[in-house]
Structure 1
Amino acid sequence: MQPFGIGKSLAIEGLISWKTPSVARVPTEVLPMPMPPHNRRASRAAVAVLGAAGLIALVAAPAAFGDEAAPELVIGGLEPIDGVKPGSSFDLPVTVANKGTGAAEKVWVSYSVTRGLDFAEVPSNCRAQQVPSYDEMPERWIAVCAFDQVMEPGVVYTPEKPLRVRALARALNDELRVRVGDVDPGADENGTAPVAGTAPAVKLVEGPAGGEGSARFVDVPVISVNTADYQVTGAELKGRVGETVTMKVKFTNAGPAWVLTKEGERLVKVMITPPAGTSVVKPHGFCEVEGDAYACGTSQRSVNEGGQETYTFQLKIDKRVADAKGSVALSTEARPFDPNKANDKADITLDVAGGGTSGSTGSPTTGSDGSTGGSSTGDDGTTTNGGTLAETGSSTLPIAGVAAAVLVTGAGTLLIVRGRRAQSLS
Structure 2
Amino acid sequence: MPIPPHNRRASGAVVAALGAAGLIVLAAAPAAFGDGAVSELVVGGIEPIHGLKPGDTFDLPVTVANKGTGTAEKVWVSYSVTRGLDFVDVPSNCRVQHIETYDEMTENWAATCAFDQAVKPGVVYTPEKLLRVKVLDRAYIDRLRVRVEDGGAPMDDENGDPSVAGTAPAVKLVEQPAGGEGSAERVKVSVTSVNTADYQVTGAALRGRVGDTVTMKVKFANAGPAWLLEEEVERGVQIMITPPAGTSVIKRDYYCHAERGTYRCPAHFGMNMAEDVQTAYTFKLKIDKRIAGAKGSIALTTEPRPFDHNKANDKADITLDVTGGGSTGSTGGSTSGSNGSTGGSTDGSAGGSSSTGDDATTTNGGNLAETGSSTLPITGAAAAAVVTGAGTLLIARRRARNLS
Give TM-score, length-normalised by structure 1: 0.71
3-state SS, counterpart of residue 179 of structure 2: coil
3-state SS, counterpart of residue 285 of structure 2: strand
Per-residue deviation, residues 111-169 of structure 1 (Å, max 9, x unmatched): 11111101121100000111111113221111100000010111111111111100011
Report if aligned partners of 2:253, 2:343 keep a CA contact under 8 Å in 1: no
Matched, 1:69 2:37: yes
332, 338, 345: which is aligned to 1:364? 338
Q: Relative to 1, partners in 2 of residues 1:338 and 1:380: Cα closer, same or farther, differing over 3 Å?
A: farther
Q: 1:320 & 1:277 partners in 2: Cα distance?
A: 6
**TM-superposed deviation, 1:377:** 3.8
- Where structure 1 has 5 or more consecutive residues not aligned to the other structure, the ranges are 1-18, 22-63, 397-426
**Aligned residue type for 1:337:** F
**TM-superposed deviation, 1:268:** 2.3
Q: 1:331 & 1:164 partners in 2: Cα distance?
A: 39
Q: 1:192 & 1:343 partners in 2: Cα distance?
A: 38
Matched, 1:310 2:293: no
3-state SS, counterpart of residue 78 of structure 2: strand
281, 303, 326: which is aligned to 1:355? 326
Worse-superposed segment, 230-239 or 206-215: 206-215
Q: 2:61 & 2:344 partners in 1: Cα distance?
A: 58
Matched, 1:261 2:230: yes
RMSD between aligned alpha carbons? 3.0
Report if aligned partners of 2:252, 2:343 keep a CA contact under 8 Å in 1: no
Aligned pairs (5 A) from 1:305-344: 305-344=275-314
* Aligned sequence identity (%): 65
**TM-superposed deviation, 1:369:** 8.2
**TM-superposed deviation, 1:65:** 4.1
3-state SS, counterpart of residue 320 of structure 2: strand
Q: 1:348 & 1:305 partners in 2: Cα distance?
A: 25
**Aligned residue type for 2:202:** T
Q: 2:344 & 2:93 partners in 1: Cα distance?
A: 59
Q: Relative to 1, partners in 2 of residues 1:73 and 1:350: Cα closer, same or farther, differing over 3 Å?
A: same
219, 222, 239: which is aligned to 1:270? 239
**Aligned residue type for 1:185:** P
Matching residue of 1:249? 218
Q: 2:58 & 2:179 partners in 1: Cα distance?
A: 23
41, 62, 74: which is aligned to 1:106? 74
Matched, 1:384 2:367: yes
Q: Relative to 1, partners in 2 of residues 1:365 and 1:100: Cα closer, same or farther, differing over 3 Å?
A: closer
Aligned pairs (5 A) from 1:103-252: 103-182=71-150, 183-252=152-221
Per-residue deviation, residues 159-198 of structure 1 (Å, max 9, x unmatched): 1111110001111111111111003221011111111000
Aligned pairs (5 A) from 1:27-106: 65=33, 68-106=36-74
Per-residue deviation, residues 230-264 of structure 1 (Å, max 9, x unmatched): 11100001112222111111111111111111268
**TM-superposed deviation, 1:366:** 6.9
Matched, 1:284 2:284: no
- Where structure 2 has 5 or more consecutive residues not aligned to the other structure, the ranges are 1-17, 21-31, 357-361, 377-404
Q: Relative to 1, partners in 2 of residues 1:119 and 1:254: Cα closer, same or farther, differing over 3 Å?
A: same
Q: Relative to 1, partners in 2 of residues 1:158 and 1:386: Cα closer, same or farther, differing over 3 Å?
A: closer
May I ask how many residue pairs the two structures share in their alignment? 330
**TM-superposed deviation, 1:266:** 1.3
Worse-superposed segment, 254-263 or 241-250: 254-263
Q: Relative to 1, partners in 2 of residues 1:155 and 1:178: Cα closer, same or farther, differing over 3 Å?
A: same
3-state SS, counterpart of residue 262 of structure 1: helix
Report if aligned partners of 1:261, 1:267 keep a CA contact under 8 Å in 2: no
Q: 2:85 & 2:149 partners in 1: Cα distance?
A: 24
Q: Relative to 1, partners in 2 of residues 1:20 and 1:226: Cα closer, same or farther, differing over 3 Å?
A: same
3-state SS, counterpart of residue 182 of structure 2: coil
**Aligned residue type for 1:303:** M
The structure that has the greater radius of gyration is: 1
Give TM-score, length-normalised by structure 2: 0.75
Q: 2:146 & 2:220 partners in 1: Cα distance?
A: 34
**Aligned residue type for 1:92:** L
Q: Relative to 1, partners in 2 of residues 1:79 and 1:362: Cα closer, same or farther, differing over 3 Å?
A: closer
**Aligned residue type for 1:364:** S
Report if aligned partners of 2:63, 2:125 keep a CA contact under 8 Å in 1: yes
Per-residue deviation, residues 82-128 of structure 1 (Å, max 9, x unmatched): 00010010011001111111111100000111111011211000001
**Aligned residue type for 2:55:** G
